[in-house]
């Protein structure tokens, strides 16, 4: 998605899996709903950065990629945190 939005690579038009994750969580794992909601919010913020960076690129602004790390880092950290909690849950429940 980032390559398509920021750099103009072909977009595969893949739907975000977030709706499916939220649905599964609400039915089977409600204890993770808040973490998933927070991840979704942070992902939206990253998507906004990507869209703005893509607009800068199209406007021939050479600074379009500035802030990429800062924009991605919160998403990466929240995603890794959620994965860690899910793994711990799986170990407790399924081993």
Which tens digit of pLDDT belongs to each residue from 64-94? 999 999 999 999 999 999 999 999 999 999 8
CA 36 vs CA 29, 31, 32, 82: distances in Å = 11, 10, 6, 8
Q: How large is the average pLDDT for residues 32-58? A: 94
Closest CA to 35 of 45, 48, 46, 26: 26
Query: Which has the minimum average pLDDT: 13-17, 39-43, 62-66, 71-75?
Result: 13-17
The answer to whether 65 and 54 have CB atoms below 8 angstroms apart is no
Could you state, in order of their start, the residue ranges of all structural domains in the chain? 34-95
């Amino acid at each position: 998605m980032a390559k398509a939005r920021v750099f103009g690579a072909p977009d595969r038009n893949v739907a975000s899996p977030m709706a499916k994750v939220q649905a599964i969580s609400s039915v089977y794992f409600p204890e993770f709903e808040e973490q998933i909601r927070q991840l979704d919010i942070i992902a939206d913020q990253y998507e906004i950065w990507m869209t703005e960076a893509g607009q800068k690129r199209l406007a021939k602004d050479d600074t379009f990629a500035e802030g990429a790390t800062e924009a991605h880092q919160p998403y990466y950290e929240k995603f890794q945190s959620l994965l860690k909690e899910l793994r711990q849950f799986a170990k407790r429940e399924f081993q």
